[in-house]
Amino acid sequence: MRPLVATIDLAAIRHNYAVAKRCAPGREAFAVVKANAYGHGVREVVGSLPEADGFAVACLEEAAEVRRVNAEARVLLLEGCFEPAEYHSAAQLALDVVVQGAEQAEALLAAQLPGPLNVWLKLDSGMHRLGFAADQLRHWHARLAGATQVAELNLLSHFACADERGHPLTEQQVEAFLDLLDLDFDQRSLANSAAILTIPAAHMDWLRPGIMLYGATPFVDLTAKELGLRPAMCLTAQLIGLRDVAVGESVGYGACWVAQRPSRIGTVSCGYADGYPRHAPSGTPLVVRGQRVPLAGRVSMDMLAVDLTDLPEAQLGDAVELWGAQLPVDELAQACGTIGYELLTKVTARVPRRYRSF
Ligand SMILES: Cc1ncc(COP(=O)(O)O)c(C=O)c1O
């Protein structure tokens, strides 16, 4: 079997969910499990969080998967229904739905449903991606309140810059949200991970933690460890080749890495077809025998090379941590000019996930 595995620590995810809840006592929380629970496996993650108040997903297909595992919890469709026929399925699955545009709202009012839905009207408070402007939101609040298709009528919005502490847009977004306090909503939701961790004024009734559940940080200047989060995924490969290269010899495609000293090169069983970023530059850290060693040359489809010259005890078969407990995914992401979210969600289907829950 190919020696590459993503080990998922379900106990860490439970711990991180509890951290979110502790940040905002008395509030409820949708665990955000879209994109296959940020790459961690939606069935396993949902199954390991029976205490979660609810789950949030991006589409009906993801919601159906959550429902199969948890018959009771609230399941929120973050972008709402993409076509009118989806409302019927959403009602059958007893979902909560976001309504973020006039077409969605009209389709809801025209729908014949087996039961009423909890509806979350989305305010565009400044991100300008989805949602109603304040005056439109007031209009739709009036039209949807009391409609037979609507059970709870709730308010939701999303931050653009909560991960950049002190960004002026965040305060404007909170103000835009609070400007609608005169409207009668059953529940309100505004906070993603960054706001849960640092903006108590944004906590409202329902939190929406995503990245923090998986033990990564939304911030550039605060590590997951500093936030009390435990990493949930460890991506581990093996040294499957070892060789000495002389000064002036190159390694890998494009012959981009050239030995400046007599060097020992290890070949590692992980490549870009597994989700490791192809654009990771030489020097990006990996961990062998508890020590950081630098990536050497271009990442191949199924393999990459590491410079082991400063780790002479390394042997064929040694485990190589691409990210995890010893090397935070956020650190690799920074080295590659991306974010932990992207690395976690891009671990491909061919990488087996192994689960532990202790
Ligand atoms: C609407 C919405 N709410 C909450 C989240 C969770 O955000 P985070 O992973 O930063 O906690 C997301 C994720 O992108 C989202 O789109």
SS (H, E, C) the chain: CCCCEEEEEHHHHHHHHHHHHHHCCCCEEEEECHHHHHHCCHHHHHHCCCCCCEEEECCHHHHHHHHHHCCCCEEEECCCCCCCCHHHHHHHCCCEEEECCHHHHHHHHHCCCCCCEEEEEEECCCCCCCCECHHHHHHHHHHHCCCCCEEEEEEECCCCCCCCCCCHHHHHHHHHHHCCCCCCCCCEECCCHHHHHHCHHHCCCEECCCHHHHCCCCCCCCCCCCCCCCCCEEEEEEEEEEEEECCCCEECHHHCEECCCCEEEEEECCCHHHCCCCCCCCCCEEEECCEEEEECCCCCCCCEEEECCCCCCCCCCCEEEEECCCCCHHHHHHHCCCCHHHHHHCCCCCCCEEEECC
pLDDT at position 339 over 90: yes
Query: Of 181, 214, 247, which residue constitutes the final position of a domain?
Result: 214
Contact between 74 and 65 (Cβ < 8 Å): no
For 342-353, write each residue's pLDDT tens digit.
999 999 999 999
- Both 282 and 193 in a single domain? no
CATH number, domain of 259, equals 2.40.37.10
113 within domain boundaries: yes
Which of the following is catalytic: 17, 21, 34, 341?
34
Arithmetic mean of pLDDT, 42-58: 98
Arithmetic mean of pLDDT, 292-313: 98
- Identify the domain containing residue 257 by its residue range: 233-356
- Both 237 and 146 in a single domain? no
CA 64 to chain CA centroid, nearest Å: 19
221 within domain boundaries: no
Q: Ligand 1, closest atom to CA 218?
A: 10
Query: Of 150, 184, 214, which residue constitutes the final position of a domain?
Result: 214
Arithmetic mean of pLDDT, 50-57: 98
The residue whose CB lies within 8 Å of the most ligand 1 atoms, and thus the one to mutate among 158, 161, 177, 219, is 158
For 183, phi and psi rounded to 5 degrees? -80, 145
Is 301 marked as binding a ligand?
A: yes
228 within domain boundaries: no
Q: Ligand 1, closest atom to CA 209?
A: 11
Establish whether 346 is a catalytic residue.
Answer: no
The residue whose CB lies within 8 Å of the most ligand 1 atoms, and thus the one to mutate among 13, 17, 23, 32, is 32
Q: Average model confidence (pLDDT) for the chain?
A: 98
305 within domain boundaries: yes
Rounded CA gap, 324 and 165, in Å? 25
In this structure, the residue with its CA closest to atom 13 of ligand 1 is 210
Establish whether 225 is a catalytic residue.
Answer: no
For 68-119, write each residue's pLDDT tens digit.
999 999 999 999 999 999 999 999 999 999 999 999 999 999 999 999 999 9
- Both 274 and 206 in a single domain? no
Instruction: Give the Å distance between the CA of 56 and the centre of ligand 1.
Output: 9
Q: Ligand 1, closest atom to CA 163?
A: 10
pLDDT tier at 358, thresholds 50, 70, 90? confident
Is 129 marked as binding a ligand?
A: yes
Which residues surround ligand 1 with Cβ inside 6 Å? 32, 78, 158, 192-194, 208-212, 218
